[in-house]
Structure 1
Amino acid sequence: MSGELKADDRLPTEEELASRYQVSRPTIREALKRLAAQNLIRSRRGPAGGTFVNRPTLEEASQSLTSSATLLASMDQFSLSEIADARHEMEAICCRLAAQQPDPVQLAEMAKELAIQQQESLSDEEFCASDVRFHRALVDMSRNAMLQFLMYGVIEAMQPVANMVVYRFRDRQDVIEAHKALYQAIEQQDSLAAGVALDRLMVYLKARFEAAQQWKAEQGQSSAGQN
């Protein structure tokens, strides 16, 4: 955290670390195991071997964030409305940046997912997965590593959770039309239209979230009455 150790620096030996921190070597080994489990260090054998500081990739760090976000969501730490509000605000920034200079590769990814979503035989699970990939391509087009990192947790963890709650209360065609409008606005480098398209999509989804929560509450009351 202090920056004293950089990526690829070699750590002192176990004996040196034990002496420096006045603890036993088994304690040092346990600490190193925990660091290795978090992919923060790596070991290499041989004359030039030792324990070295890792440089976690953005993907690896994002996966860790996603795991934590999924766990917290499963424990009801976040409400669907909070997830939707956070996604709305951050993805709006991504839309604006993406529309400034659209990436042909990511545009092609969005177009591919749009084609997939229009397949009538697509299952609910497959539609939700395509929805995640569509928005991930949009976020990647922002070319902002910090936004990509933060949005990874929202897109890869929170969006699937929300999708599986709300899928029975939404019309796929409404989502597809919103995705088309988003795609076209970004392709035409119209950041204002992209923002409007995202606003409409999120207002629609938030209404669906409310319907899902209302249905869940009514089901709970019905079950309680029967008991």
Structure 2
Amino acid sequence: MNSIDRSQGLARQIADILQEDIMQLRLGAAERLPSEAELAERFDVSQPTVREAMKILAAKKLIRSKRGPKGGVFVNPPSLDIAAQTLHETTNWLVSLGAVGLTDIVETRRSLGRLCIEAACQHADRADHKRIEAALLELDHTEISDEDFCRLEVEFHQAVAAASPNAMLRLVMVMVNQSLIPAANMISFQFRQRDVVVALQRRIFSGILARDAAEAVAAFETLIEYQSGVYNRAVEERAARQTSCVDG
């Protein structure tokens, strides 16, 4: 039986202990956890307390439930998608609190995006090219909403990143693309010209197809500079409206 501090939150402590068991591989990937009754006995707590601990672990995507005769609670196997979702949620929280600013967003996208494009120029195969082109062709639609345009813009950059053989870079780019691009677009979408964005992304794709990293990166740099200018204009307009409201 593990020792827990009864002056603190019991469910949280149990979740922390089980999380450590998972991280240290004392509970292996896809392994079934002991039953609620067994865990309650192990920690000398009630089953509802164990149930609360399970909810905490499930929210972190560390475990999953399975119904049926062979059901139960199982450790989630390692997954880039699960890790990326956790990072995505954390990044959205930081952006919403203002802990991540537009300058941070622009510079992060510039540095990591350049690496992804260089990797795509070197490693992308026919399947990668088809994914990138599919996202690009969808992105060119002029009748879609701003929300859908933003979503498809993320898909284009994610398709480029997916061509990299570096799993860690692909993971980080999920966070960058799915968190930072929408956060910036929320502020600046009304000032952005879609045809400019699509034309530059076509240049990026052409460079990737030709395995011309210099051309593809140059187009990407131009895109980042354009979007940076749009972000700055949006911030200035917002500040001007706030000043006008105060003066009024």
Mapping of 1:23-172 within 5 angstroms? 23-43=45-65, 50-172=72-194
In structure 2, what is the Cα distance between the partners aligned to 1:122 and 1:161? 19
Same amino acid, percent of matched pairs:
36
Distance, in Å, in 2 between the alignment partners of 1:48 and 1:5 is 18
Task: Give the aligned residue type for 1:4.
Answer: R
- TM-score, structure 2 as length reference: 0.79
**Structure 1 segments of 4 or more deviating over 6 A?**
none
Question: Relative contact order, CA 8 A, sep 6+: which one is greater?
Answer: 1
Question: Relative to 1, partners in 2 of residues 1:111 and 1:10: Cα closer, same or farther, differing over 3 Å?
Answer: closer
Distance in 2 of aligned mates of 1:19 and 1:10: 17
Q: Residues 44 and 103 of structure 1: is their aligned pair in 2 closer, same or farther, counting only changes over 3 Å?
A: same
1:37-96 CA-to-partner distances (Å, cap 9, x unmatched) read: 433224457776554322153223322322222232222221112111111111111111
CA distance in 2, matches of 1:136, 1:103: 15
**Contact 1:81 / 1:209 at 8 angstroms: preserved in 2?**
no
CA positional deviation for 1:129: 2.4
Contact 1:39–1:56 (CA under 8 A) maintained in structure 2: no
Residue equivalent to 1:178: 200
Letter in 1 for 2:57: L
SS at match of 2:89: helix
Structure 2's unaligned 5+ residue stretches are 1-22
Query: Which AA in structure 2 matches 1:203?
Result: E
- Contact 1:14/1:29 (8 A) holds in 2: yes
Q: Which secondary structure does the structure 1 equivalent of 2:74 belong to?
A: strand
CA RMSD of aligned residues (A): 2.4
C-alpha separation between the residues in 2 aligned to 1:145 and 1:27?
37
Q: TM-score scaled to structure 1, two decimals? A: 0.86
